[in-house]
Amino acid sequence: MEERLKTKTIEDVANALGISKTTVSRSISGKGRISEITRQKVLDYIAATDYRPNPNAKGLANARTYNLAWVIPGDSELASLSFFQSCLQGVLDAAAQQDHDVLIVTVSPGNISGLKRVVENRKADGVILGQSLDKDMAVDYMKSSGLPFVVVGSTYDPEVLQVDNDHISACSELSSILKMKKPRFVTLIGGDQEIIVNTTRRQGFEAGINPVRHSVYMNCVTVEEIERAVEGALSDGADCLVCADDRICYHALNRLKRDGVRIPEDMRVASFYNSRLTEDFEPSITSLHYDPAELGARACRLLIDRIEGREVPGRTLLGYEVLLKASTR
Amino acid sequence: MEERLKTKTIEDVANALGISKTTVSRSISGKGRISEITRQKVLDYIAATDYRPNPNAKGLANARTYNLAWVIPGDSELASLSFFQSCLQGVLDAAAQQDHDVLIVTVSPGNISGLKRVVENRKADGVILGQSLDKDMAVDYMKSSGLPFVVVGSTYDPEVLQVDNDHISACSELSSILKMKKPRFVTLIGGDQEIIVNTTRRQGFEAGINPVRHSVYMNCVTVEEIERAVEGALSDGADCLVCADDRICYHALNRLKRDGVRIPEDMRVASFYNSRLTEDFEPSITSLHYDPAELGARACRLLIDRIEGREVPGRTLLGYEVLLKASTR
DNA sequence: TTGAAAGCGCTAACAA
DNA sequence: TTGTTAGCGCTTTCAA
């Protein structure tokens, strides 16, 4: 009757109940034939005494770790951090539901040693890549490793499991809506083309905006580059500005304000991505809205399905919302 | 001679070398007596064939996971994210050096279920709390759990392992420097008092600024609260504004600019914390500079020392830099 | 439906 | 200095 500090094992449970370890194991896992009555007895006992299976022992026997690795760039922009944070929350929730935990790994361009560590040491059963670049060492490495993985975002490689927002449709739809406002000239300020989504957004933009006259400035990353693009838009005679993401939008807005450009009277402004960065801007900004947490959760579930050998779709596209606000009135 | 896909085990290594598993194990761990020559032979073979010990097996035998848990609030402000990100990088680097990996866990006020999962399932050997609140469920829970843990930041509880910047000295020193500028009246805009560091900063401020006349506005979290505090400072007749962190500073600066207050002519401005948020403000902002990555790294090393039973200091305080810039000229 | 026993890959007494 | 052997706690074949 005395409680020991030593953690309980499956054997303790078996002894206490006068049955064998096998039976206990089967009750927990649900594998193998077992009478519902003994099963319930075991489950009740376990719940009452809060026995917890030792994950190492379980892992050793099953060749699993019940861990996933979540990989993000170590050098993210402030703005991307909030995306990764939401996305991570989705991953964590979904992982916890299936009794998995999440190892965090950072990579930077040219340095994927952290990822290699985890994969080579087999500390995770699968990997979620939080962002995909055009030419991505991490993706190449994961492909060669043989470990299951999924990327959040799109890849050109059709063999890679991917979960993404439907950026093409979303950007195209928002662009069409802007087109209906009969702008004279529209400028897109796009982000780093190494990041695939930026190219995708551009494609959606082109698809939706034609045949309206327009210009595109890609690879705007630094504040200077963004401001230069704004100047470009102004001298192009644009009366509508579309920003690839909220960080770009944020700096563009600051610039426009400084120049005394009125929004939306002189210039309509919209963003292909929204987040907390631009949310309390005046006037409120028309933008696309996605659900990063859902993205993470889906990626996670997909990965676990994949790990456990279930059939999974190669590509999953999630929905979006168009938020029409004062900035494009 | 044929390569199998099956992963190598310690036994394979032993057989290949014609020695026993024990000898191989000892060569790797460095524990127990062993001749340098056999040891080197084993190490060479391992390096050449890249054998990796199975972490589950090792963990099972040692009752360890070789994982640490990194706990951050799930609902962080954008500004704190960059702190956690840098800090995490320090943790990851230090952990990797000692062959540990890092599980990520989020908690929110009133919900520490993620933390409980990891602790109860014994998925980590120790926990790093990335932030400490005044009355912190996570700290209380960790104390009761018996698992080693360390907090980044300070706690009032002397039994808790903690690693922090020396905020008191730093804030006090910066305040003294400001005092030497002979301000008429100084206002401190402080953050959420639930977060201990905000109280600490206030203490440092008081210590350094006296006997200059001053006022303090604490618990400024929302933009509105910060702006109200700026108004307060203005009507108090302040000609020097001290902000507890860069987020507060950022919003305060925006407000001052909008009101046409010149910096530093009408109002000197300094921040007790700097980051990317305020870095390209014009004029440049006087602030305290810390090294979050070092904070994370120290916490991590300390924790591992603790886990392995080494003696560790209860409290570690790290240095800082005072960056004097144009905003307080 | 249940149980005995072997095995997952590693460590550590204990012997040699 | 090295090896033998018995676990660590769980799963799973095979037999009952």
Structure tokens at A81: 């951090």
Q: Give distance CA A105 / C1' C9 (Å).
A: 26
Could you give the domains of chain B?
A: 2-62 (1.10.260.40), 67-165+293-320 (3.40.50.2300), 167-289+323-328 (3.40.50.2300)
Cβ atoms of residues A87 and A146 within 8 Å: no
Tell me the CA end-to-end span of chain B in Å, nearest whole number. 74
Confidence grade of residue A134 (pLDDT, cut at 50, 70, 90):
low
| Confidence (pLDDT) at A4 | 39
Nearest to A82 by CA among A273, A256, A234, A221: A273
| CA gap B304, B67 in Å, rounded | 10
Cβ atoms of residues A46 and A82 within 8 Å: no
Confidence grade of residue B189 (pLDDT, cut at 50, 70, 90):
very high
Cβ burial of B88 (10 Å; 0-12, 13-18, 19+) is buried
Q: How distant is the Cα of B90 from the closest Cα of chain A, in angstroms? A: 11
Q: Classify B28 in phi/psi space as left (phi over 0), alpha (psi -120 to 50) or beta.
A: alpha
Convert the pLDDT of each residue in A10-40 to its tens digit: 999 999 999 999 999 999 998 888 899 999 9
| CA gap B249, B230 in Å, rounded | 10
Convert the pLDDT of each residue in B69-104 to its tens digit: 999 999 888 888 989 999 999 999 999 999 999 999
Separation of CA A59 from chain center: 27
In this prediction, residues A212-218 reach a mean pLDDT of 98
| CA gap A267, A68 in Å, rounded | 46
Q: Which residues pair with A103 in a beta bridge?
A: A69, B103
Structure tokens at B114: 């993620």
* A146 has a pLDDT exceeding 80: yes
| Chain B residues in contact with chain A using a Cβ-Cβ cutoff of 8 Å | 7, 50, 52, 54-57, 59-60, 65-67, 70, 74, 76, 78, 81-82, 85, 88-89, 92, 96, 101-106, 113-114, 117-118, 120-123, 223, 276-277, 280
Which nucleotides along chain D are within 7 A of a protein C-beta? 1-5, 7-13
* B253 has a pLDDT exceeding 80: yes
Structure tokens at A262: 């009125």
| Confidence (pLDDT) at B3 | 37
The SS3 of residue A83 is: helix
What are the percentages of helix, strand and coil residues in chain B, rounded to 5? 45, 20, 35
Q: How distant is the Cα of B11 from the closest Cα of chain A, in angstroms? A: 16
